[in-house]
A = this chain, B = another copy of it.
Amino acid sequence: MHMPTPPKEPGTHPDCRKVNEILGRMGDKWTIMAITMLAGEPRRFNELKRLIGGISQQMLTRTLKALERDGMVTRKVYPTIPPQVEYALTDLGRSLATPLMQLAMWVLDHLGEIEAHRASHDARLLSEDR
């Protein structure tokens, strides 16, 4: 891992579009939630759905499929009745979990600060508008 390099001319870098596209996926909130919930131990489909809370099964399916395609997650089917499917992070997925959970932690740590700032900012706008 390099140091937080002050960017030079990244907009002109040829890989910029691709990085951007991957960022769009990895930064997706359902992706972040899913990987967070998979860190630590494998989970089953509906278990994940419950843990994440507020996600539709279709979005969960899509998210997991995309993660599988990207090599972040493995899908293991146990041919039992009823069927049982277990999702687990790959090594690659686990390596992503680290920066992702640091981001999540940052949000948790600064939630109050952000909301306070929003409130005062909104209040100021209101008083200016008249």
Contact = CB atoms under 8 A, between A and B. Distances in A.
13 contacts: A1-B105, A1-B106, A4-B102, A7-B40, A22-B111, A23-B32, A23-B33, A26-B103, A69-B122, A92-B113, A96-B110, A100-B103, A102-B102
B105 A102 contact: no
Interface of A: 1-2, 4-7, 9-12, 15-20, 22-24, 26-29, 32-33, 36-37, 39-41, 50-54, 68-71, 92, 95-111, 113-115, 117-118, 121-122
Contact of A51 (B5, B10, B68): B10
B36 A10 contact: yes
B11 A97 contact: no
Tell me how many chains of this kind the complex includes.
Answer: 2
Given A1-B102, A71-B114, A6 B107 contact: no
